[in-house]
């Protein structure tokens, strides 16, 4: 069996569960992708997934389902998705071993 394309921390899984519960309509999970944006070229996208598509990579872990857009898979292999909350900010953080750099504001990356 091939290794999962990415991992999800306990904190991220708990936050995903909360978001899906608050949504108010059934979802199969969340979908992660990347798009061209920002100073460094790419940014992560996160959205509710109403259905699985034929080519989605599927990660089922810690009670949540994460669908990975097939166009994003090669950019996020080995990535850890975390959720961080402190006095200054809260949000999902992606620790990606493929990143060659990030922009100063942290919004985008390049591989």
β-strand partners of 95: 80
Domain assignment present for 111:
no
Give pLDDT, residue 97: 85
Quick check: 107 and 87 in contact, CB under 8 A?
A: no
Q: Domain range for residue 70?
A: 6-95
Domain assignment present for 102:
no
Calpha distance 6→44 (Å, rounded): 13
Domain assignment present for 107:
no
Calpha distance 90→42 (Å, rounded): 21
Over residues 48-102, the pLDDT tens digits come to 999 999 999 999 999 999 999 999 988 889 999 999 988 887 889 888 887 776 6
Give pLDDT, residue 54: 92
Report the domain count for the chain.
1
Calpha distance 11→98 (Å, rounded): 22
Q: Give this prediction's pTM.
A: 0.82
* Domain harbouring 80, CATH code: 2.60.300.12
Over residues 6-39, the pLDDT tens digits come to 999 999 999 999 999 999 899 999 999 988 865 6
């Amino acid at each position: 069996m091939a290794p999962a394309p990415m991992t999800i921390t306990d904190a991220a899984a708990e936050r995903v569960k909360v978001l899906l519960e608050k949504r108010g309509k059934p979802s199969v999970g969340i979908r992660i992708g990347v798009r061209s944006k920002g100073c460094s070229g790419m940014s992560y996208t996160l959205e509710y997934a109403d259905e699985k598509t034929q080519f989605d990579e599927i990660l089922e872990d810690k009670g949540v389902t994460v669908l990975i857009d097939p166009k994003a898979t090669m950019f996020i292999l080995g990535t850890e998705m975390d959720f961080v909350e402190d006095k200054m900010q809260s949000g999902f953080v992606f620790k990606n071993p493929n990143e060659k750099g990030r922009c100063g504001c942290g919004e985008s990356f390049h591989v």
